[in-house]
Structures are given as structure tokens and as C-alpha cells.
Structure 1
């Protein structure tokens, strides 16, 4: 059995525009009667932007909150609102070739969670879950009033379903409500469910972001690093099953991995990295400060000129190279160099520091390096093998870097 697919122009325009992480994946979005159902239009579209094909199923209660036409428009596919002689639930998740890759119940009400736990399938949503539960991954995202979510019977049902292998993404507790997580968090949870876990069992340390050096109690020296490159690398390891610690400098970006160590200064970042020298893989993508200054108390007056002495900091990459037996990857940002010179410089530093791989880029070229969403890199290993990743999104560059590491460990 197959999927009824309606290829609409608007879907083609957005599918895969952010990444291909869900390319080829078929996701059944089961919508229940929570007011949070209004978020499902945005959710369907965001899943598609990462390459997914979305098929929506609605309970009667959900249809009283949003119209099926809205989800049909969002996904470009017909919406299942009742089960007919076409056995839509079997067509979607029956144990046949071409079945869905994931059932996403979002938002899930207390009523639907309890029915699933009891094996009741009297709505299109519960029938889809009942049909696919033995052979299709199921991700449930609850949304309800806080008092309902805290009901010990609901808690017991959630615990029971988790023991049966169903994954829950738990809600945000705000304003007396158990609210849906942010759309980005739901999409990330979907990716984690579907990604191949080819790095399971590996411990990984990734650094990201810039560090600051305080001049006085008001001012500091910083750099232009957004932290995106390192954060995307950490996410890629996380999606692929590794146990990831992200040592994160100054950034406005939201980290998606669970274990984050904040390290806003060079000293804190140095200490955090050295404490985790036993990691299997260490990726030093942060723009740690090259210099520090002697901090002055209070606020320096602006009435007179000030001379600052820049004191060279220790090199994290050099010291961790001496201390760790893990696979160590460094980053080398240069400005306006010829390609062969950039590669030679990266390999020379790799050898000097005794590490395993260097990722080099030229931040003097447009749309590369700091404060942009794209990058071009050259991945250089000990034997001076070079992999060129042309100008691409930083998410894609992160995938290629992790692939290169995976091949060499």
C-alpha cells in the first residue's frame, strides 16, 4: 500500500529549504483537541522545510479548533478526518513497504494519552497509533492544563507508554499550562527519533561561540563569533547518538543539546575543556580569546584615552593535544589567503599541535565564517588528505565535518 500524494507547487517551494535532515521521511502528524492544535500548521511547514513529507490525521475534537483545510494547505496532502473503507490508518502505518517513518501525536491530550495506554482506538488518531505501535516509532507531545498533566493517573499512563518504547517530548510548564515546546524543539526531537545512531557510545566534547575579556566592570573585548558552526556540529553528533557536552561561549543562539557548560571567558573555557580531556572526540570550534587584559575595577572614565596591554593567552588546542588521547579537531580561520596556502597553513598547525584534523576557512571572503549562516571549509587530516566543502549552509558543513570524523575514528 502507498501514500496518496498531491504534489502542490507551494510544497515544492519550501521542502528542504532549511536542510535535508528529514529528506525522504514520511511523518504522520496526529492532531488532537487541544488549543495548541493551532501550532500544527507551523509545525507541518517546518518539518517540510527540513525535507519531510507530512500526512495529517485529526480527531473530531481537533476539527473544532482548526479546519482540516488548514492542514491540507500546510502539508499539501489530504487530511484524514475519519476512517472509511479505504482503511486510511492501515494505508499510513500498516506493516507494509512504504509505511510512514514516524507517528507524531502533537498536541496530545490527556484523553488521547489515556486511550493509547488502554489500547482504545475509537478516533482516527488512536486508530493510527494502535495500528503502527508495534513497527513504527511514535513520538507524543502532550499539551493540556497543568493540573491535568500532574494528574497521577496521566503520569502513570505516560510512564507506562514510555516503558513500552514510546517517546515523549515533555511540555513547557508556564502560566498554569503544560504548553507545547517550541516548534524548533519538536522538529529536533523528530530528527533524533529518525537519525541513524552510527556514533552511539562515543563521548564528544564540542566548543562553540566566542569568549570575552573584561576591561573593567562595564566593558569587555569580544570577537564576532556567533557560535553557530560549533553548535551545529554538536547537534549533528547528538542526532547520531553520541553523548555530547557543548562548552558554549558568548552567543545569542539557542543550544539544542542537553548538556551545555557555559564558559563566557577564556579561563572558564580552558578549564572546562581540560576537565573533559578523556572524551573520545574533541572538536574545538569556539573562537576563544587569543589575548586577555588586566581588568580594572569599576568603570574607566571616558574623559581620557586608555592604553590596553594585550597579554597572549595559552592555546587550548596545544594543551589539550598534549593531554588527551581522543580524536581532536581544530579550526583555523585565516584571512584572504590562496587556497593552497590556507591548506598548508592548516596542516602545519595540525602537526604543531599534535591533533588529528583541522578545519580551515578563509573569513576574508564574503559569506564565510563569522555572523553568517554559510561557510566554505577545507578539512585537512594528518596525511594532508583534503576534503573541500564548497559554500553551503553551516548545518550542511557540520554534517560533512562529522562524516569526515566518523570515517577516521
Structure 2
């Protein structure tokens, strides 16, 4: 560490060198999830990145800029001045940032970016960076009802259509929570180290087994773990695709960032696949599920008594 350099930078590269030499702009907006921003910054640094933060006024009411400066070891941009910080960080020149990460992002910021409005340090930096071709990753965080608003969902699709990666939030306790720190950091690593030849393309995957019910409780199935479909989904996500998984009751855990449609029966899987293909244009469909090949001609809606001959 050079004389006079911030001691927080001692952790850079302490975990891996995956992001060594990469400059990342961390944009922080006014979601309560802003309390996670320093954790995200530190983990990016441990992977080798140098992190520069830009904050909205609303974010500063939740996390003090001094805390963010301590976490990153760099001055925090809280307003745009004659230094034209947005151009210095994200303009069209050789020493610009390698990636812009918005974590957390409010619905308000998503809407502004989708509409090309740049009236905060964060949105102005994003407008500059998008125009300069810098990769952008957005991690939404808001109440679930806000996330489900049709216009918010349309805005997210607008951003994806121009190549921006929008991570799937964790839908818990009535909220669309910011993704786990590890997921956010891995998305950054993937974006900067893996070829993004599927960016902007939608891929539909089926995975896991299905069940063919005999009565209200008993069913025929198979021991498929769903691992193949999950592995395909992980690779597709890393290569930039927007992934939807129609997923049977398997043991493997679907990857974060994919849209998961849970199903049980072959009929439900078929209906889900048909609905998805009708609703939107997919680049590819990969049918890796172990769907049941046969079942009972007539499912009984009550439990068949044990020992009863049918």
C-alpha cells in the first residue's frame, strides 16, 4: 500500500484476483437496503476491484457518505460539481470505469433511467455510462407491490432490452429484497470475466421431475434431481441471458437471477411452457425436465384405502 493511501484498500484482492485492476462505480439509491451497500463494496474489493461510490440525496439519509468512503477507501460523489464527476467516472475515455453497479435501486431510479431522465448524481452517471457503452447491473429493492406494478415491470424490460442486467430480487415477507451480496458480486464477476454472447436473449428451460397422481396423495414420479437444468440455467445466466425455468419438485436449487415457475404435473409443465411461449419471444427453449411418460387414466380425488383391490 502506497504512503497516504486509505487503509481500507488493504483488503483489495484478499480473497481472489478475479476483479483485479477493475474499476467499479457503485451507485446507491434511497432504499432501506442501502445499509447493505458497504458490504457489497467490501466484497467486490476482496475480489480485487477498486470501488467508487455515487449516492443520491435519499441514500445519504440512510447511509452516511463518510461510512461509504471508509468502506471503499475513495471519496464519495454526493453531488456533481465542476469536476464533472459523471464524465470522469463514466465518460468515453481510456480511464473510465469498467462497470456500473446500482445496488440498491429504487423503482424511482429504474423509471428515470428507462425514461432517460438524469436529475441525480446516480442517474446522470448512468446516462453517461450507458451512452459510453459501460456494462450496467441493477439490483432492485422495494416493496413487492411496487415491484409488481405493471409500469415498473415494463421499465425493467426496457432496461433489459438495451443490455442492462437487472437482477431478480428475493421475494420475501411482502418485499422485493435486494439479492444476496454473494449473488450481486458473482453477477459482477460473470459480467466482467465471462463472454456475454447471450446478452439480451431470453431462454426457457424445463428442469426436474413431474408427478402423475393416482389419487389425492399417491403419485408416480422419478428421481430426477434437476441438476442438469439448473447447470444449464447457471451457464445461460453467466453468459447474459434472461432465464425462465419451469421447475418440477427437484432437490437442486434453481439459481438466483432466474425466473422460476414451480409446477408438479406434466400437464402443469406443458401449460406453463405454452403460456410463456405465447407471452413473449424466446431465443431458445431447452427441455431438460424428466417429465412422467405415463400415469393413471383416471385420477381418484380421494385417498384409496390401503389394501383395497382396484
TM-score (norm 1): 0.49
Point out 4+ residue stretches in structure 1 off by more than 3 angstroms.
234-242, 253-258
Note the residue ranges of structure 2 that are not aligned, 5 or more in a row.
199-232, 242-250, 259-287, 289-310
Deviation at 1:38, TM superposition (A): 0.2
In the alignment, which of 37, 40, 43 is matched to residue 40 of structure 1? 37
* Gap change, CA 1:181 and 1:96, over 3 Å in 2: same
Count matched residues: 220
Deviation at 1:170, TM superposition (A): 1.4
In the alignment, which of 166, 179, 182 is matched to residue 184 of structure 1? 182
Partner of 2:26 in structure 1? 29
Partner of 2:137 in structure 1? 139
CA contact (8 A) 1:195 1:240 kept: no
Q: Give the distance between the partners of 2:165 and 2:157, measured in 1 at CA.
A: 10
Deviation at 1:18, TM superposition (A): 1.2
Q: How does 1:1-400 map to 2 (within 5 A)?
A: 7-12=5-10, 14-134=11-131, 135-197=133-195, 239=238
Q: Give the distance between the partners of 1:157 and 1:199, measured in 2 at CA.
A: 23
| Secondary structure in structure 2 of the residue aligned to 1:103 | strand
Deviation at 1:164, TM superposition (A): 1.2
CA contact (8 A) 1:146 1:178 kept: yes
Give a deviation string over 1:228-285, Cα, whole Å, max 9, x none: xxxxxx989985789xxxxxxx99x997797xxxxxxxxxxxxxxxxx9xxxxxxxxx
* Gap change, CA 1:241 and 1:19, over 3 Å in 2: farther
* Gap change, CA 1:174 and 1:28, over 3 Å in 2: same
Partner of 1:222 in structure 2? none
Note the residue ranges of structure 1 that are not aligned, 5 or more in a row.
1-5, 201-233, 243-249, 259-275, 277-409
Aligned-residue CA RMSD in angstroms?
3.3
Q: Give the distance between the partners of 2:174 and 2:84, measured in 1 at CA.
A: 39
CA contact (8 A) 2:24 2:49 kept: yes
CA contact (8 A) 2:168 2:256 kept: no
**Of the two, which has the highest radius of gyration?**
1
